[in-house]
Structure 1
Amino acid sequence: MSVPIRPASTVVLLRDGEQELEVLMVRRNRALAFAGGFWVFPGGAVDEADRTRGGDDPDEAARYAAAREAEEEAGVSPDPESMVLISHWTTPVGERKRFSTWIFAGEVAPDSEVVIDGSEIHDYQWIGVKQALETHRAGELPMMPPTFITLCAVARYNTASEALAGERETPCPRVLPLLVPLKNKGEGEGGFATLYPGDAAYETGDLEVEGPRHRAFLSNASWQYQYVDVTEPPLYPQD
């Protein structure tokens, strides 16, 4: 049965911290069917008002949706006109719920007050971007692959203004992953990998096939990103 793909949008809210660039992360209610208990960026579905405001441009409708959801879920109001589109992700085929999700970045004042809704969102934290990745790699701060990849992209910057300027000049990947269960103990038996264009297994799902590696896999409760011998561009610039 075909699963409808719902348009959604989210925003990476950034501020300049005392030690490093900080990001607002919110924790979804554990009772939610989709990503319950995971740490995410504020966001949600694109609604009719967003589409009206964005005219015929789905990117613009998503922009206004991301700003609106930040206000509704966290009480923070980024300027939608200055937000920058980082990436676009479509939920893999086979999932029970599928979304077409725009991910933006926006700067907010360091003293912005956060007020979570207490319904979909049960907790929040301002955390250094690099610290968030370190905490995740330690097996804490559970998140989905797009969140992890986005943090890796933003971790290249030192300030919010630098991040927005850099992402304006960075190509926006539009990603449809292939979701494949893992059997290799070395890559976290019982988990799964998400494959991206350019991976040797992207068309077939055969993780053992030789060739380029463009994938993320869950190992010890944290995501790892592989980009080896790939002709397709990476999901974020590599060193």
Structure 2
Amino acid sequence: MSDRGERALDPADTEVPAAEVELAPAATVVLLRDGPAGIEALLLRRNPDLAFHGGAWVFPGGRVDAQDAARAGTADRFGVTAARHAAARELTEEADLVAPVEDLVPWSHWVTPPGPPRRFATWFFVAAEAEVEDVVVDGDEIHASDWVTPAAAFARCTAREMDLAPPTWLTLRQVAELGSVSAVLTHADARDELRYEPRISRDTTGALVSLYQGDAGWPTGDATVDGARHRLIWAEAGYRFERSP
């Protein structure tokens, strides 16, 4: 977690009304492998000079363009079919790795909360590393790569050595709970994708909170409301996830 990321989500710092920011379609690949210490995910570090999540560690991904939709045989750039092609293309462009389009399994769909000057509707796909290959980044948009266990990523995030956006952090937590690549893929195949439309607020302690559907405060965007919990709290010692049974 970083101060840069917290300021970007603070509702008090909103510069652009939500109605004036057009959503852009995007896609990302949560590429996984089973390592000696448990499940590992590929993370890429974005160029610190980039305006959107500069310096953050992210899964490979980017915008869905018209060519992705054309390859998918659809005119809908926001749909899952075009997003699959975009995710596969971005994996090759950013990490020089190949994942067959048909092997990408929908995991979740995130919509950037109001506030930032850029907002995305992003499909997250999970996939297994097809074969052992070296990751090669372009040195321009992407500056570094690492295969990490969720536990290692969380520790580095808490130590402020790795900037993770809430969707990245929460996705790592979800795959960690399942424990293996096969379990993640089986789970993804057996259910509909998770849907997230975060609303950003502050709780009674003043901590920044990402509210998700199912939280008592989500309908109004008020993190101080009593009731069911489904939220990510930006605590001093790192993120803290709360969800009611």
**Same fold per TM (> 0.5)?**
yes
Match of 2:178, SS? Answer: coil
The change in CA–CA distance for 1:30 and 1:214 in structure 2 (over 3 A counts) is: same
The change in CA–CA distance for 1:142 and 1:23 in structure 2 (over 3 A counts) is: same
Aligned to 2:166: 145
Tell me, yes or no, if the aligned pair for 1:15 and 1:110 is still in contact at 8 Å: no
Tell me, yes or no, if the aligned pair for 1:9 and 1:44 is still in contact at 8 Å: yes
Tell me, in whole angstroms, the C-alpha distance in 2 between the residues paired with 1:128 and 1:197. 27
Give the one of 6, 17, 20 matched to 1:2.
20
Alpha-carbon shift at residue 181 of structure 1 (Å): 4.2
**Alignment pair present for 1:15 and 2:33:** yes
1:26-105 map, 5 Å: 26-56=44-74, 58-105=79-126
Match of 1:155, SS? Answer: helix
Q: Which amino acid aligns with 1:51?
A: A
Alpha-carbon shift at residue 124 of structure 1 (Å): 0.8
Give the one of 175, 179, 188 matched to 1:158.
179
Aligned to 1:199: 215
Aligned residues: 224
Tell me, in whole angstroms, the C-alpha distance in 1 between the residues paired with 2:225 and 2:149. 38
TM-score by length of structure 1 reads: 0.87
Which has the larger share of helix? Answer: 2
Spell out, residue by residue over 1:97-129, the C-alpha distance to the aligned partner (whole angstroms, 9 max, x if none): 100000001111452110001111111111123
Tell me, yes or no, if the aligned pair for 1:79 and 1:106 is still in contact at 8 Å: no
Tell me, in whole angstroms, the C-alpha distance in 2 between the residues paired with 1:183 and 1:122. 38
Give the one of 128, 131, 134 matched to 2:155.
134
**Alignment pair present for 1:212 and 2:228:** yes
TM-score by length of structure 2 reads: 0.85
**Alignment pair present for 1:120 and 2:120:** no
Alpha-carbon shift at residue 171 of structure 1 (Å): 3.0
Alpha-carbon shift at residue 64 of structure 1 (Å): 0.8
Aligned to 2:195: 174
Alpha-carbon shift at residue 164 of structure 1 (Å): 1.2
With a CA cutoff of 8 Å and minimum separation of 6, indicate the structure with the bigger relative contact order. Answer: 2
Tell me, in whole angstroms, the C-alpha distance in 2 between the residues paired with 1:89 and 1:208. 23
Tell me, in whole angstroms, the C-alpha distance in 2 between the residues paired with 1:3 and 1:86. 25
Identical-residue share of aligned pairs (%): 42
Tell me, in whole angstroms, the C-alpha distance in 2 between the residues paired with 1:96 and 1:182. 24
Tell me, in whole angstroms, the C-alpha distance in 1 between the residues paired with 2:216 and 2:112. 20
Match of 1:124, SS? Answer: strand
Relative to structure 2, which stretch is displaced further, 195-204 or 78-87?
A: 195-204
Match of 1:156, SS? Answer: helix
Structure 2 unaligned spans of 5+? 1-18
Match of 2:139, SS? Answer: coil
Q: Which amino acid aligns with 2:30?
A: V
The change in CA–CA distance for 1:120 and 1:221 in structure 2 (over 3 A counts) is: farther
The change in CA–CA distance for 1:67 and 1:226 in structure 2 (over 3 A counts) is: same
